[in-house]
């Protein structure tokens, strides 16, 4: 128990030192093995991933999503009796003469989940404010802005789905739904951070390489492996801010968040390298 507590305490101390870009802390880092910094970075990414996951759930009100999905499944019974959806030669048609609406819930808080309207233009998804629109030629998935909505043409010579088929399929999905949720969370928490860890590490590698050669002109004792090691710790604050901005999409756009991350990362690494290698020789 004490060992686990000590492990967390050391991680939090490392995060604190890396956030402050404290000169004394960075000096101790360059005398440690490179593997120490890599292990720190992996643990930091895992911790950040868990915090981001919890933040995402509450900000997007995802706690209620399973209930909404279950309500959506139950609402399939509200579809027109005898409904038949046919796709023939990549064109969709139904045996109904009007648009078909499927809501996530029957109450006033329900979201319009899908609309089936053969004669609609794909841009109608904005007017309906539904998550999915099925026209005669495409299936459209809503996105913001509307110009970035995903429009996928059908690719089927012949297929037919009835209301009964949909309900039977949903009944199967409902049985395995808890397992799908558990598996998805497991993947997100345990495997997604590894991909993020590798992605960030590659990004930091190239930035630190540029900074290393820029400062090599002023420092003869500077080695790249130590520049990279310091860069891993110096990236702590830029990564936290980048994660915050990406999860808070209403504050700034993803493109601006990426530019800010690049600038902050370059500044953080440059400041740390300057402190440890350049000032040391003056």
pLDDT value at residue 36: 93
Contact 141, 105 (CB under 8 A): no
pTM summary value: 0.65
- C-alpha span between 108 and 262 (Å, rounded): 44
pLDDT in tens, the chain (282 residues): 555 556 777 888 888 888 888 888 888 998 899 999 999 999 999 888 888 777 766 665 554 556 666 676 777 777 888 888 888 888 888 888 888 888 877 665 667 888 888 888 878 888 888 888 888 888 888 776 555 677 888 888 888 888 888 888 877 877 787 787 788 778 877 888 898 999 999 999 999 999 988 888 776 677 889 999 999 999 999 999 988 887 766 667 778 888 899 999 999 999 998 888 877 555
pLDDT value at residue 250: 60
pLDDT value at residue 135: 87
Relative to beta strand 91-94, strand 138-141 is unpaired
pLDDT value at residue 146: 54
pLDDT value at residue 63: 46
DSSP string, 237-279: HHHHHHHHHHH-TTTS-HHHHHHHHHHHHHHHHHHHHIIIIIH
pLDDT value at residue 124: 81
b/e code 47-74 from CB counts within 10 Å (16+ = b): ebbeebbeeeeeeeeeeeeeebbebbbe
- C-alpha span between 282 and 274 (Å, rounded): 11
Long-range pairs of 64-69 with CB within 8 A, sequence gap ≥ 24: 66/177, 66/181, 68/104, 68/105, 68/111, 69/104, 69/177
- C-alpha span between 66 and 136 (Å, rounded): 30
Instruction: Please give the DSSP secondary-structure letter assigned to residue 168.
Output: H
Which residue ranges make up each domain of the chain?
2-61+182-281, 90-156
């Amino acid at each position: 128990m004490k060992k686990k507590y000590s492990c967390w305490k050391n991680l939090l101390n490392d995060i604190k030192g890396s956030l402050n870009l404290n000169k004394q802390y960075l000096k101790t880092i360059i005398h440690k093995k490179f593997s120490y910094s890599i292990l720190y970075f992996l643990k930091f990414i895992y911790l950040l991933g868990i915090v981001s996951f919890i933040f995402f759930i509450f900000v997007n009100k995802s706690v209620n999503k399973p209930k909404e999905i279950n309500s959506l499944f139950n609402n399939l019974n509200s579809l027109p009796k005898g409904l038949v959806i046919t796709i023939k030669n990549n064109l969709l048609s139904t045996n109904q003469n009007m648009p078909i609406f499927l809501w996530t819930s029957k109450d006033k808080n329900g979201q319009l989940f899908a609309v089936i309207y053969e004669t609609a233009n794909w841009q109608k998804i904005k007017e309906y404010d539904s998550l999915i629109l099925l026209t005669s030629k495409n299936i459209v998935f809503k996105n913001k802005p509307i110009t970035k909505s995903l429009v996928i043409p059908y690719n089927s010579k012949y297929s037919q789905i009835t209301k009964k088929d949909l309900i039977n399929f949903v009944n199967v999905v409902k049985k395995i739904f808890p397992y799908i949720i558990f598996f998805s969370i497991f993947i997100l928490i345990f495997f997604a951070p590894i991909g993020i860890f590798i992605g960030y590490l590659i990004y930091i590698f190239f930035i630190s390489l540029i900074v290393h050669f820029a400062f090599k002109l002023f420092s003869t004792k500077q080695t790249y492996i130590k520049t990279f090691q310091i860069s891993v710790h110096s990236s702590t604050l830029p990564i936290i801010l980048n994660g915050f901005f990406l999860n808070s999409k209403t504050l700034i756009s993803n493109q601006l968040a990426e530019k800010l991350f690049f600038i902050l990362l370059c500044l953080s690494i440059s400041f740390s390298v300057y402190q440890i290698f350049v000032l040391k020789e003056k």
